Amino acid sequence: MTELEEYYNKFNEEKRLTRRHGQVEYITSMKYIHEYLKVFESPAILDVGAGTGRYSVALAKEGYDVTAVELVKYNLGILKKKNSTVKAYQGNALKLSRFKDNSFHMTLVFGPMYHLFSFEDKCKALLEAKRVTKPGGVILVAYCMNEYSVLTYAFKENHIKECLEENRLTEDFHTVSKKENLYDYVRIEDIDRLNEATGLKRMKLISADGPANYMRPVLNAMDEDTFQKFVVYHLATCERPELLGAGAHTVDILKVEK
């Protein structure tokens, strides 16, 4: 068993997106998924790195044709126990050989980029998503962002000195992650380089959770009406360029050109 599998066997992925900070990310991502699905007639969706099926099961319940791929057996088991219409398989984002070229109208890549550490592997994952997505189709890719990691782990949790001593931060404070760190963090210019290398065209870049992860105790203390107003605020501002890159996650919305 890999370190990543051991981590997800302990990490409660099922509950993450149901907590208030996770709800912001989920509501935002679903808003844009629906926005881009509506242009297709009877769309087929592939969810790569589906976790326990938070997105794929919900979309299947809405009547969409959904296929899911998940690396971690434990997460896959939870997904399958939900008895949805999702066609779920164990697999790796770097090799989607189970699927033919041009098979899906929309491909979600909402987990794999968090755990791929080289530029080459990130490109492989994007190129595989591109290969299985139909011309004119849409790929949504989620990334963990560099500044969130530096501000929370390095400064808020007071690991800054050890990060600098262990060369886990560059001179301009870009994280240097290794597999044992489990997560990799990027800046917008890193995402831009990936798109250029893989020939994918951006339609939108959004901050999936904005300040929500920084505000966990505040969000949890809000009454429901105030929380809903925060969600409305976030949806109104999540495309603003001055906020992109500062949140914990961004979602890059890409078009596969015809």
CATH number reported for the structural domain that contains residue 51 in this entry: 3.40.50.150
181 domain-assigned: no
211 domain-assigned: yes
Phi and psi at residue 39, in whole multiples of 5°? -80, -10
CB burial string 157-167: b at 16+ within 10 A, e below? eebbeebeeee
- Tell me the C-alpha distance between 53 and 82, whole Å: 9
Any residues with CB less than 8 A from the CB of 227 and at least 6 apart, and which?
A: 20, 219
DSSP, res 130: H
Sheet-wide strand order for 87-90: 87-90, 65-70, 44-48, 104-109, 133-144, 249-255, 201-207
Dmax (CA) of the chain: 54
Residue 137 and residue 87 in one domain: yes
Would you give per-residue pLDDT tens digits along the chain (258 residues)?
566 666 666 656 667 777 899 999 999 999 999 999 999 999 999 999 999 999 999 999 999 999 999 999 999 999 999 999 999 999 999 999 999 999 999 999 999 999 999 999 999 999 999 999 999 999 999 999 999 999 999 999 999 999 999 999 999 999 999 888 889 999 999 999 999 999 999 999 999 999 999 999 999 999 999 999 999 999 999 999 999 999 999 999 999 998
Q: Which tokens in the block code for residue 246?
A: 């500062």
Q: How many domains does the chain have?
A: 2
Q: How would DSSP label each residue in 218-231?
A: HHHHS-HHHHHHHH
Residue 95 and residue 138 in one domain: yes
* Strand locations in the chain (E): 44-48, 65-70, 87-90, 104-109, 133-144, 201-207, 249-255
* Strand locations in 30-186 (E): 44-48, 65-70, 87-90, 104-109, 133-144
Which domain range does residue 61 map to?
A: 3-145+186-255
pLDDT of residue 15: 72
111 domain-assigned: yes
Phi and psi at residue 175, in whole multiples of 5°? -65, 145
Residue 151 and residue 241 in one domain: no
Residue 131 and residue 166 in one domain: no
**Is the distance from CB of 32 to CB of 253 less than 8 angstroms?**
yes
Question: pTM for this one?
Answer: 0.93
Residue 68 and residue 169 in one domain: no
pLDDT of residue 258: 83
Residue 60 and residue 171 in one domain: no
Residue 153 and residue 116 in one domain: no
Residue 90 and residue 161 in one domain: no
